[in-house]
Structure 1
């Protein structure tokens, strides 16, 4: 894999990649946009921080790109949707700088409350003044934390240590987590109305962009202190400046801006305001954090190369990692079933339905569905399909994908059924695990029991004496050995199905000879090159 590094990344992380013989790394910092676009087509992966914009134009130029690795939390400089449409995996390092960001938010707050920056400048300027720098204590203040994720949770814990009463707002956090942190979950408006200190710790999304604007700032208590060490654009800066100038907001501590570097007059005025403490996006800038995020994204690239689960891929549905060991065999089963049944389809597909029955239905089965869908799509389209773009490709092809779950499974403790419909025909396959290995237990409406092999042959024909002998004779004359045979029928003299596992492939000429000899209603050679996923789809099989 050839990787380009376009922003400063800690060498400790790159060293993990450099020692792998499968990896070739080029560090090219400070490239102009045109220069990067001219060479990106040579690379399989790009490692960036916030200094590189991975947009549609860059992704189109990166014909070989399989992965974008963002060495940090934020991915607002990456067009994730377009990357997904191209089948490019986007990974980040959401936990590597968690502690760094939390500590920096507290550093900003304390710097403002104790006038550290102003007093430092005064003393270094030769003055000895104390009265102008009288500060504020945190003890007894009501602090509002918006976003109670990894960073927000740590900030809440530290505020509690300073004896603040902490209120928090996060619609995606369970009440139990708030209880464990010792904070009270409230609405946004309650935060604005009741808090002396408000600190923001959410990602920048369509939902959070300009989340705190004129209305919210006007609602706040007089004398409030605001901290933003999360993402620029969450707080509208023009009304923030207005309320600072009016005195309603006592002060602000800001590490991030809507435009970086700041260029507008409003931003310059905000930065220059005497009651604002600012830093140039330093939340993740500790030596420890830089090493952590570099190591994290490098490990993800190695996981990709080893076909291991990707823990921090932002555009791949994934299991809770604590469940991966028990779910991995089901990913394998779904992949095998999909590769098998798609070879029996000879019409345009309208609908694909995955049904999960038994104990497995208690879990999130989305990764199973997407992995199976990727296997189906790879047999149907020319472009590379993986877990990133499988759903998008199916949608663009007009294919409806359904997922059904039931905890009832009469025959097996767990069973997966895949049904494909199109052209007025339906193909159904069901599978389960025997000692962790895939077994097919139902094909169409025939009960069967076999483990898929590399070379197989499926026939259906009118049940009558001598048919198995004819099949064996034709294959024997053609020097094709039968490894195993699986038979099924509904009734005597009705339709019969035979499924053969063979030691080698069957030529088209032999297929036609078998069709004629058996008057087969359906005959299809099946090639299963292996149950292990080799597409790098991130399913971890």
Structure 2
């Protein structure tokens, strides 16, 4: 059955056609996002939801979205999506951060020109029949120092364009390496240094706890007299009242804002002040950008629903289509390893340690971590998936540690998962054979070679004669077919284990019969996702 997607905001017909061309059943209802009640009534039948900014994906809507797997936002901002609620629900939230990069960067450059030459006020004056040529004395950009806060995707384009205008560019970005700064032709500086030197300051960072109010009153008072501030990134990055006060005092020469702390901005301390250019969040508002993000979100959602590829997700590691093909068996293995431990552990897990060896260590470890954690948690919450697992694990106070190493044994690679509770430690390792099938290769330090089936029985016992016969005879008597039988022991007459892959669920009475023989310390039924 084909995945079903709802488009509840205004996306282009070309984007909608992408879903159809990929074999996805799509309903295009561009006005539905404004009708909360009707949207909530219909959302339960869809696997995917494609939106812009009109649709509000709240926790209440997500409660009704019983089949929803992915929300795709055509654009970079996801303020209209409750990401925490989506993560707990196991719903991937994607955006399209690259479709409007050039448009937003160009808008910042345009705003910089506008405030440098007072273009909006000069235009209004001229339209009014005045000829106030001497009133609008501007400044050149050539030779001026541009301070860029955030030199990532959009900020990087601004740096490139500014260098083309023969500006000197200094950049503050904790994630910018010196090597990258050298390639970009910018000077990497500390924030205080940028504030003291810049003639123009432009911001290109997301709004986070670390960046909120990054240009505070205190920071703005450190700037060079005559500085001009441009914000086309996010409202809340700049203290707008402080900018207004410093404009009126003459310390700041001009400001250009496309975004505001409160939007829609119907009133603001900056409104009505001289040499302040304000636009209504137009950074991504070009024909090209709107089309690009719509096409991009349609492709991303289609890829995920059809192949499992994850791109530009905000609550899940990205996995390319190529990675998904190679990693599929390893993700399944990580899930099975976690599921084994989760079903064997009846105490709260305190720590999870995952060792990646050989080829496994070269893969997307974030995705593998998510799969292993999900496997562990499914024993107590079957609705957990790779999206919700890290959030739930964090809520439960579980600590995660990972280690990678080069190939150390006979296998090209393997994964070993170890968990600690208050009273014990438990571990299991597995690999993927050339046929693409996951196998368990070690339990409790005992080497084995066990095929993984949907229904399995795990036993522990002393290494004594009669174990195989007892298991075979008991299951045979009750008509239970054994598909695969694996034994392992630490040493002769020492601790031993058995792992049986059976065709059907073993009734509790049969398990009780095995325990009554006195041969087994433990007889545990296990269930794994179907292969």
Q: Which moved more, 1:411-420 or 1:227-236?
A: 411-420
Q: Which stretches in structure 1 are left out of the alignment for 5+ residues? A: 532-541
Partner SS state of residue 219, structure 1: coil
| 1:183 Cα deviation from its structure 2 partner | 0.1
Cα distance in 2, alignment partners of residues 191 and 328 from structure 1 = 46
Cα distance change on mapping 1:414 and 1:12 into 2, 3 Å: same
Whether contact under 8 Å (2:349, 2:421) holds in the other structure is yes
Structure 2 counterparts to residues 216-227 of structure 1, below 5 A = 216-227=219-230
Cα distance change on mapping 1:53 and 1:498 into 2, 3 Å: closer
TM-score with structure 1 setting the length: 0.86
Equivalent position of 1:401 in the other structure? 399
Cα distance change on mapping 1:55 and 1:124 into 2, 3 Å: same
**Cα deviation code 1:263-296 (max 9, x no counterpart):** 3352xxx233331222211110111111221222
Structure 2 counterparts to residues 321-400 of structure 1, below 5 A = 327-345=327-345, 347-359=346-358, 360-361=360-361, 365-381=365-381, 384-397=383-396, 400=398
Cα distance in 2, alignment partners of residues 177 and 28 from structure 1 = 44
Q: Which moved more, 1:216-225 or 1:34-43?
A: 34-43
Q: Which moved more, 1:48-57 or 1:94-103?
A: 48-57
Cα distance in 1, alignment partners of residues 277 and 137 from structure 2 = 16
Cα distance in 1, alignment partners of residues 7 and 404 from structure 2 = 47
Q: Which moved more, 1:102-111 or 1:427-436?
A: 427-436
Cα distance in 2, alignment partners of residues 177 and 75 from structure 1 = 28
| 1:174 Cα deviation from its structure 2 partner | 1.7
Matched, 1:254 2:252: no
Cα distance change on mapping 1:482 and 1:24 into 2, 3 Å: same
Cα distance change on mapping 1:273 and 1:42 into 2, 3 Å: farther
Cα distance in 1, alignment partners of residues 250 and 403 from structure 2 = 58
RMSD of aligned Cα (Å): 3.1
Whether contact under 8 Å (1:18, 1:24) holds in the other structure is no
Cα distance in 2, alignment partners of residues 484 and 37 from structure 1 = 47
Q: Tell me the matched-pair count.
A: 525
Cα distance in 1, alignment partners of residues 227 and 472 from structure 2 = 86
Residue 263 of structure 1, aligned match among 266, 279, 294: 266
Cα distance in 2, alignment partners of residues 24 and 87 from structure 1 = 23
Whether contact under 8 Å (2:87, 2:387) holds in the other structure is yes
| 1:323 Cα deviation from its structure 2 partner | 6.4
**Cα deviation code 1:17-59 (max 9, x no counterpart):** 3453444443325726666566656655443333444444554
| 1:169 Cα deviation from its structure 2 partner | 0.4
> Higher relative contact order at CA 8 Å, sep ≥6: structure 1 or structure 2?
1
Equivalent position of 1:538 in the other structure? none
Cα distance in 1, alignment partners of residues 303 and 399 from structure 2 = 28
Whether contact under 8 Å (2:56, 2:80) holds in the other structure is yes
Cα distance change on mapping 1:414 and 1:442 into 2, 3 Å: same
Cα distance in 2, alignment partners of residues 222 and 423 from structure 1 = 60
Residue 156 of structure 2, aligned match among 117, 142, 153: 153
